[in-house]
Structure 1
Amino acid sequence: MPVSPLPRRIAIHVLACLAFLALPYVFAPHGLTGQLKLIGTSPHEQTTLLGYVLMLAFLYLNYYVLIPRLYFSHRYGLYTGIMLLGFLAIGFVMTIRDRHDFFGDPPPFGGQPSAEPGRMFPPPDAFSNRQPPRQERQAYSLPPSGDMPKPGYGFELNQTLFLFLVGVFVTLSLRVSGRWRQTEQERVASELSFLKAQINPHFLFNTLNSIYALAIEQSPHTADAVVKLSSFMRYVTRDTGNDWVPLQRELDYIEQYIDLQRLRLADTATVSYTRNGSTAGLQIAPLLLISFVENAFKYGVNPAVDSPIRIAATLQNDQLHLHVGNRKVRQASSAGESGGIGLANTRARLALLYPDRHTLTITDQADTFIVDLTIQLA
């Protein structure tokens, strides 16, 4: 069963938080297991863990609030100041809590351990003029059983600063990367909307020309052509507003267009159309294939010349292969017209929608024009 986006996102956040909290302990001298045991008995390790939790909370504040509202608004000075204050606040809380034993007073010099671990009381002769031997003073300064000597201030601050900077860099990189991806998606969507707006009038213009030719000839197929045009427009106005459409509908649309051209051309051109393979469950960008078919009828039909047109759509392993071939019996009226706006439009859409999942080969020879398009649909 596929995981829905929200639980998946929550799971990723939980794993990332656990990894962040466990990272300092993985490289600790006693390893992850040894350091986890010390957390239960050592106030110093508990303070360190509290600092990591506070740092993690501040990094989430940075990701969801500070970066969108300050960094992306180009208020870099204020953003840097808040980052500095956040680090100092976390370091201050860790230092005060750790060095004063839960905000209490430190034990007097020469104190002796009590029955309670972590607490020390002065010996009976603490106020006499006799100083305890050096070995005795060293014994009194040892931490309770199971605790490790506390590192110096410099080591703690350096470790905290390193983790803080790594966290800020990671959150900033993720946020900037997400902003860039969103901007790129909006750009692609805008370009696709523009290209789709181009292709619709282009298609309508060519289809109306076909029906006009039937009407001029007073063909009995004119009414059928109008009905097919109505079906085309229903597809264009209703279905192509979506980013993806079922492949079956797109191929049905192409087949209807071919039928319309057959009505118009009668015996003028020999049109061969075949379709093989199952379209079940496959989708494609709308109006992506029609330009190649239109191009074949535009430059491959001449009543005075034999005009064969071959169109084949083959589906295998979720891969669509479209072959369109025609004899060039009508030349472009100007340099660069061959293919027209339709082919240029389709090239651009393929590059945006299937950047690494399609191959387009166009063979443009003196008397033939062949298109072979392969798209990996899933």
Structure 2
Amino acid sequence: MSVPKRKYLPQWLVHAFLWCALYGLIVYPFLSETRSIPPHIIIKLVMAAVLFYFNYYYLVPNLLLKDKIKIYIGISIALLLVVGYGAHNIFPPEGPKNLGPMVEYMKKRRGSRIPFLFSLQPFVTFGVPYIFAIMLRVYTELQKNENLRKTVEKEKVQSELQFLKTQLNPHFLFNSLNTIYSLSVKKSPDTSEAIINLSELMRYMIYEADKDTVPLNKEIEYIKSYVALQRLRLANSENVFLKISGDDTGKIIPSLLFISFIENAFKYGTDYDGKTSVKISLMIRENFIQLYVVNKIGKHKPKSESSGVGLQNVKNRLNFLYPNSHELEINDDGATYEVNLILNL
């Protein structure tokens, strides 16, 4: 089951939108009045683009993002002052007369303060793209780091799941071989049936369990073969029950998702005298699947540390595969062990 990827706008599209918006705001007044764009405007826009990408590709990644903040601020202020002042003096504007009636009105009202406003224009022209370069580059780096974090996290979980599966295979194999061995020693007529069940288990693990998801009916057949093999191993299987209800047509689930709970029930539901009490119920509905497993804890059968690790692995797997769409309740009162798992489809 794969994690849905968040879609982001391509970087070239973001840059194109930024420059279209900036250039449009500056040249629109001239185009709307059918006037030619002054050469100094075009030159300053080109200078703004050069300053933008110098900041975007060099200053931000090499200074700001490497925690050289004071150096970055000092260079940025000096750069904006030099470029802004130089552009204003080398490529001076034609004057307020070409900038519309509103500026003419302000000139009459405020007199000599208007040229001062024009002296700030280059700093706005260069400063706004400069700030956008900072915001865009920082956002891009954060996005890249977040994608990398998710990729690493996903690969880690996938490796943990694969490691869990490789742990399950030999464990089942050894248990099953021990079962067949005990039957053969007793010259039981059930030996051939046990071998068939084991072959079904191994066929599923080899050809199906390595997939991310499997049809639910195949997982059910695997569970049936496992329970049948356990029944043959037990001296008394009268208290072993497996009930499956509902329609499994068209439903898929992650492979080997339920077997850890069932295996745990047989492992700790059997005491040294061979007495076993395990009840398994798998209820399939349109929108959910419910697994209910309960077993009596066998006498003199303390839990090992490996049981806790295995259970934690299953919990981690459920949290990854069914985030906020599953319910797992485990009750242990010392006499019985109860698992109730609901998967929302």
Same fold (TM over 0.5): yes
Spell out the pairing of 1:151-166 with structure 2 (5 A cutoff). Answer: 152-166=121-135
Alpha-carbon distance between aligned partners in 2 of 1:50 and 1:246, rounded to the nearest angstrom? 60
Residue range with higher mean Cα deviation, 153-162 or 287-296? 153-162
Alpha-carbon distance between aligned partners in 2 of 1:224 and 1:200, rounded to the nearest angstrom? 20
Match of residue 124 from structure 1 = none
Spell out the pairing of 1:180-259 with structure 2 (5 A cutoff). Answer: 180-259=149-228
Question: Secondary structure of the residue that 1:185 maps to in structure 2?
Answer: helix
Q: 1:279-325, CA deviations, whole angstroms, 9 ceiling, x for partnerless residues? A: 44443332221121112222224696874421111233543221001
Match of residue 287 from structure 1 = 256
1:142 aligns with 2:142: no
Q: 1:94-115, CA deviations, whole angstroms, 9 ceiling, x for partnerless residues? A: x86x9888xxxx79xxxxxxxx
Residue 38 of structure 1, CA deviation? 3.1
Question: Secondary structure of the residue that 1:181 maps to in structure 2?
Answer: helix
**Matched AA of 2:339:** V
From 266, 269, 274, the counterpart of 2:243:
274
Question: Secondary structure of the residue that 1:207 maps to in structure 2?
Answer: helix
Tell me if structure 1 keeps the 8 A contact 2:197–2:225: yes
Match of residue 29 from structure 2 = 38
1:296 aligns with 2:251: no
From 318, 321, 324, the counterpart of 1:356:
324
**Matched AA of 1:163:** F
Alpha-carbon distance between aligned partners in 2 of 1:210 and 1:239, rounded to the nearest angstrom? 23
Question: Secondary structure of the residue that 2:240 maps to in structure 1?
Answer: strand
Tell me if structure 2 keeps the 8 A contact 1:38–1:146: no
Instruction: Provide structure 2 residue ranges, at least 5 long, that are not aligned to the other structure.
Output: 104-116
**Matched AA of 1:165:** I
Tell me if structure 1 keeps the 8 A contact 2:236–2:276: no
Match of residue 122 from structure 1 = none
Residue 228 of structure 1, CA deviation? 1.9
Alpha-carbon distance between aligned partners in 1 of 2:339 and 2:194, rounded to the nearest angstrom? 27
Q: In terms of Rg, which structure is larger? A: 1
Match of residue 29 from structure 1 = none
Tell me if structure 1 keeps the 8 A contact 2:216–2:251: yes
Question: Secondary structure of the residue that 2:181 maps to in structure 1?
Answer: helix
Tell me if structure 1 keeps the 8 A contact 2:268–2:303: no
Match of residue 373 from structure 1 = 341
Structure 2 vs 1, CA of residues 220 and 38 (structure 1 numbering), >3 Å: closer, same or farther?
Answer: farther
- Greater helix fraction, Structure 1 or Structure 2: 2
Question: Secondary structure of the residue that 1:171 maps to in structure 2?
Answer: helix
Residue 371 of structure 1, CA deviation? 0.9
Structure 2 vs 1, CA of residues 232 and 173 (structure 1 numbering), >3 Å: closer, same or farther?
Answer: same
Alpha-carbon distance between aligned partners in 2 of 1:212 and 1:340, rounded to the nearest angstrom? 29
**Matched AA of 1:210:** T
Residue 275 of structure 1, CA deviation? 2.1
Spell out the pairing of 1:92-131 with structure 2 (5 A cutoff). Answer: none
Question: Secondary structure of the residue that 1:142 maps to in structure 2?
Answer: helix
RMSD (Å), alpha carbons: 4.5
Alpha-carbon distance between aligned partners in 2 of 1:163 and 1:211, rounded to the nearest angstrom? 72
Report the identity percentage.
31
Spell out the pairing of 1:5-84 with structure 2 (5 A cutoff). Answer: 16-17=14-15, 20-21=18-19, 37-38=28-29, 40=31, 42=37
Alpha-carbon distance between aligned partners in 2 of 1:338 and 1:183, rounded to the nearest angstrom? 26
Alpha-carbon distance between aligned partners in 2 of 1:233 and 1:209, rounded to the nearest angstrom? 15
Q: 1:199-240, CA deviations, whole angstroms, 9 ceiling, x for partnerless residues? A: 222222222222222222222221121122122112212222
Normalization by structure 1: what TM-score? 0.65
**Matched AA of 2:240:** V
Residue 249 of structure 1, CA deviation? 2.1
Structure 2 vs 1, CA of residues 342 and 219 (structure 1 numbering), >3 Å: closer, same or farther?
Answer: farther
Question: Secondary structure of the residue that 1:152 maps to in structure 2?
Answer: helix
Residue 18 of structure 1, CA deviation? 6.1
